[in-house]
Structure 1
Amino acid sequence: MPKPTQPSSLGLRSVLLLRGLSPQRLDDISRQCAWRRFEAGQTLIAREQGDRDLHMIVAGAVRVTSYSPGGRETSFRELQAGTSFGEMAAIDGRPRSADVIALRPGLLASLSPANFRTLLQQEWTVNERVLLQLTELARGLIDRVVDLSTLSVQQRVCLELVRLAQGAGGAGNEVRIAPAPKHADLAHLVSSYREQVTRELSALAKAGVLARQDGALVVRDLDRLKHMASRQVAH
């Protein structure tokens, strides 16, 4: 179980949902929260469990994922410090729809459904941010369904690498992704198997599109990678 810790409004200042609230308001919210430390690899939320709290990540990082009856994992998104999860169950009271696994040690501030709904009623800026966050989530899941339904494994791997490269920043047609993503993690993101992902990455390396360098994955030709993600692949 996560270890309890003392409330502190300092940690809440970096939480996006609460940004701009007064120090006094943050103090009030911090006293309403349950504060818990967690370790890497720990399951913070299990699908269908009774927890309904809103969880704010004060430190650390987590992965939102789901497992098929056969044990195959599909990852939906990774969340960093300053973000939150659990809004849907806190609002509608229904069971969790996914598992949340800690990627790095960190700290959670958890708000009960009743306190969360009161916050939404009293603070329009928080309410608006939750609406925008849920809208973004819905759009992302629609895109994900379309990708899984219409793209080959090769295209999905290329598309995920494009997303990682764009997130890494940098200018020009060569982008460094550090650290290099693990093959198993990529497989979870594209709803495939590690062996398939390994084959696709090897093919991209042979084609001169990718290279490994000092623990990083270097995209040597981002334009070509984008083209491969969008083109029709013969089967």
Structure 2
Amino acid sequence: MGTNTYDERLGAAEVAEWQRIGRVRRYADGDRLLSEGEPAREALLLAAGRVKVVSSSADGQDVVLAYRRPGEVFGEIAALDGGPHSATVYAIGDVLAWSLTADQFLHFLERQPRVAITLLLVMSRRLRQADGQRLNYRARSVLERMAERLLSLAEQCGEDAGGGRRRVAIRVTMPELGASVAAGRESAVKAFARLREMGAISVDPGRRFVIEDPELLASVAAGRARES
């Protein structure tokens, strides 16, 4: 059984079952859906909109770990083990989610073994990625890390911008981008400017990032393109 067999998002029948037993919740832009350090009370299924998952670093800086799209579940680890949430989840724009209490979530997984296996595989993949990222960041430049992060954003939140280009559909601030690649403000601004000079990225009138040359950006991320 390969890890590519499962999609991170729930199928139509699984969503329908979740909604049948769950409660609908609506959030406005910037609202907190879950808070880091608080005890788990529910697991959430994102039905509409997008959210960002944020964690506080040792120096108190907020770091965006990921963005989630409709059909994905979050808060599941704390709901399973009864521990506190490991990150805060914020709404990006209007968000619709369906919640299950911890007990309802466990019963749901008992009736939906495919979802249980999917979540296990997703959690395992995310842990591997986090471990790999920590190791890679020690050896890679800010420019390489930023290029990789922008590619990831285009994959998670991208939309077609024509001509083979991809636009990040949500607005990401420079402090958020810099923190996500463990870079200070000056280093992040310098790396971003360099990527623009190279023609790999641009910024549209709505202040959203556009991947102008995905192949070039991938080369930078892999350390195959010159930084100066």
Does 2:178 align with 1:187?
A: yes
**Which of 81, 86, 89 lines up with 1:92 in the alignment?**
81
Q: Aligned AA for 2:85?
A: R
Shift of 1:78: 0.4
What are the equivalent positions in structure 2 for 1:209-228 lying under 5 Å apart?
209-215=200-206, 217-228=209-220
SS at match of 1:185: helix
| 2:3 aligned partner | none
TM-score with structure 1 setting the length: 0.77
In the alignment of these two chains, the number of paired residues is: 216
Does 2:175 align with 1:175?
A: no
| 1:10 aligned partner | none
Specify every segment of 5 or more residues in structure 2 that has no aligned partner in the other structure, as ranges.
1-7
Does 2:12 align with 1:19?
A: yes
Conserved 8 A contact 2:15-2:71: no
What are the equivalent positions in structure 2 for 1:17-96 lying under 5 Å apart?
17=10, 19-21=12-14, 26=17, 29-30=18-19, 32-96=21-85
**Which of 90, 104, 112 lines up with 2:93 in the alignment?**
104
Shift of 1:181: 4.2
SS at match of 2:65: strand
**Which of 105, 112, 119 lines up with 1:130 in the alignment?**
119
Shift of 1:69: 4.6
Q: Aligned AA for 1:96?
A: H
> Whole-Å Cα distance in 2 between the matches of residues 45 and 161 of structure 1?
25
In the superposition, relative to structure 1, how do residues 107 and 212 fare at CA in structure 2: closer, same or farther (>3 Å)? closer
TM-score with structure 2 setting the length: 0.79
Does 2:196 align with 1:205?
A: yes
**Bigger Rg, which one:** 1
Specify every segment of 5 or more residues in structure 1 that has no aligned partner in the other structure, as ranges.
1-14
Shift of 1:94: 1.0
Shift of 1:122: 2.1
| 1:117 aligned partner | 106
> Whole-Å Cα distance in 2 between the matches of residues 206 and 108 of structure 1?
40
SS at match of 2:10: helix
> Whole-Å Cα distance in 1 between the matches of residues 10 and 47 of structure 2?
12
What are the equivalent positions in structure 2 for 1:123-162 lying under 5 Å apart?
123-162=112-151
Shift of 1:91: 0.9
> Whole-Å Cα distance in 2 between the matches of residues 137 and 22 of structure 1?
22
Shift of 1:89: 0.7
Shift of 1:66: 0.7
Q: Aligned AA for 2:133?
A: R
> Whole-Å Cα distance in 2 between the matches of residues 89 and 135 of structure 1?
15
Q: Aligned AA for 1:204?
A: L
Q: Aligned AA for 2:63?
A: T
